[in-house]
């Protein structure tokens, strides 16, 4: 494996140097993710399964969106309210057993009003056996399929229950899926009020504390129980960048609001997204074995963007890794190595490098020359032996 160091100025540009100070959060667990560059900015107890409270309703909403997308559920159909759904306490749409409610209203009831009853109605209608418990088992299976390995569900709404757990990283993965998989539905998360039919005048406002602050916040879900503390799965977009974050275990509504706003400001002000290498830029050349050319260029196939901290100048270390010499034939665009960027305080970034041109297998003359080179290398004395012979 060859590793060739690249000049900092060539890859990044000296004006972009710098490292942000790490964010110190009072949350029990936190995860901050720059979606635009696929960069985790902060992870504190990120993989620890914790009580998620109402933030786990996002999984119920995701599965409802999936059911609508594949035709198992319709946005304008009505679903029956069971006695079990009505009996839930906590945040509620005050649904009545026996009535039927439109799916669209139930979804808004979960997202905007955090209705435990609304989440349960959706769950029972999508459950394989018609029960909330059956849906919870389905939630756990689906979460694992999506890569959320630290999540297990006992109900559809986050009501305190043994074994009902999610890590903040899993909640962040789920938020990322909601944004990418269902962009048509995502604007519901930014709605600040839902009146339903006027029966719940005391519960019409979205609890997300950072909506309307002018910082680009547009989602997603709050959570609170005595065991879990106060939490938020949040997201904000400024310009072309989007940040997703999860906080849990805070001790008050005010702490949740203040910490969330600080997180958003930190993520956008302390980091900048920069295009650092253009597609097709040659960063190195690799020796070719048995080809009709002696070497081939290594280029990035796509523009390379990096999240670059904006303060405290430091050098960004960039290098090219590849195994060589590379045996011919080589196809144009064939993956041959990686551009590696090491940044203090941020994850290592890797980008593919491909062949800039095709290299055909060499003819008889190339094979003869290569064989001669190999023979000479075998019979030539090692440097130490040659030096000894002259003494």
217 and 333 assigned to the same domain? no
3-state class of 19 per DSSP? Answer: coil
pTM: 0.82
- Please work out, in degrees rounded to the nearest 5, the angle formed at the alpha carbon of residue 297 by the alpha carbons of 295 and 300: 155
Cβ atoms of residues 82 and 121 within 8 Å:
yes
Cα separation, 123 vs 133, in Å, equals 9
61 and 95 assigned to the same domain? yes
Domain termination residue (choose one: 228, 252, 269) = 269
Cα separation, 296 vs 308, in Å, equals 30
Query: Hey, how many other C-beta atoms are within 10 angstroms of the C-beta on 205?
Result: 12
Cβ atoms of residues 307 and 242 within 8 Å:
no
Going by pLDDT thresholds of 50, 70 and 90, the confidence category of residue 203 is confident
29 and 10 assigned to the same domain? no
Q: Is the pLDDT of residue 34 over 80?
A: yes
3-state class of 308 per DSSP? Answer: strand
41 and 131 assigned to the same domain? yes
* Domain limits for position 81: 22-269
Cα separation, 50 vs 44, in Å, equals 13
374 and 328 assigned to the same domain? no
The region, left, alpha or beta by phi > 0 then psi within -120 to 50, assigned to residue 236 is beta
Going by pLDDT thresholds of 50, 70 and 90, the confidence category of residue 300 is very high
106 and 250 assigned to the same domain? yes
Residues with Cβ within 8 Å of residue 47, at least 6 apart in sequence = 150, 167, 169
Total domain count for the chain? Answer: 3
Mean pLDDT score across all residues of the chain:
88
Cα separation, 318 vs 307, in Å, equals 14
Quick: pLDDT tens for 155-186: 999 999 999 999 999 999 999 999 999 999 99
| CATH number, domain containing residue 321 | 2.60.410.10
Quick: pLDDT tens for 58-89: 999 999 999 999 999 999 999 999 999 999 99
């Amino acid at each position: 494996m060859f590793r060739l160091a690249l000049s900092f100025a060539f890859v990044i540009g000296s004006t972009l140097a710098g490292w942000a100070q790490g964010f110190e959060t009072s949350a029990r667990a936190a995860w901050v993710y720059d979606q635009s560059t696929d960069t985790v900015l902060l992870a504190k107890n990120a993989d620890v399964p914790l009580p998620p409270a109402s933030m786990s309703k996002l999984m119920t909403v995701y599965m409802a969106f999936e059911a609508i997308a594949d035709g198992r559920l319709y946005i304008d159909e009505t679903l029956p309210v069971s006695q079990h759904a009505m009996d839930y306490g906590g945040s509620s749409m005050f649904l009545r057993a026996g009535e039927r409610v439109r799916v669209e209203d139930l979804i808004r009831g979960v997202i905007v009003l955090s209705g435990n009853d609304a989440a349960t109605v959706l769950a029972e209608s999508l459950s394989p056996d018609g029960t909330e418990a059956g849906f919870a088992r389905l939630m756990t299976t689906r979460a694992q399929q999506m890569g959320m390995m630290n999540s297990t569900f006992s109900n559809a709404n986050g009501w305190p229950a043994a074994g009902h757990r999610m890590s903040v990283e899993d909640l962040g993965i789920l938020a990322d899926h909601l944004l990418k998989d269902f962009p048509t539905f995502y604007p519901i998360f930014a709605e600040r009020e839902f009146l339903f039919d006027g029966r719940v005048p005391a519960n019409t406002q979205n609890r997300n504390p950072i909506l309307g602050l002018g910082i680009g916040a547009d989602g997603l879900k709050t959570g609170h129980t005595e065991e879990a503390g106060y939490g938020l799965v949040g997201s904000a977009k400024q310009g072309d960048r989007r940040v997703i974050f999860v906080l849990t275990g805070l001790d008050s509504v005010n702490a949740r609001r203040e910490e969330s706003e600080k997180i958003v400001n930190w993520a956008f002000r302390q980091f900048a997204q920069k295009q650092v290498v253009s597609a097709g830029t040659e960063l190195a050349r690799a020796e070719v074995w048995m080809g009709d050319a002696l070497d081939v260029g290594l280029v990035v196939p796509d523009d390379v963007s990096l999240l670059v901290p904006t303060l405290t100048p430091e050098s960004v270390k960039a290098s090219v890794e590849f195994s060589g010499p590379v045996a011919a034939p080589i196809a144009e665009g064939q993956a041959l190595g990686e551009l590696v960027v090491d940044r203090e305080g941020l994850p290592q970034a890797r980008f593919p490098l491909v062949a800039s041109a095709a290299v055909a297998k060499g003819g008889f003359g190339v094979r003869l020359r290569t064989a001669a080179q190999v023979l000479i290398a075998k019979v030539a004395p090692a440097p130490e032996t040659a030096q000894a012979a002259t003494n």
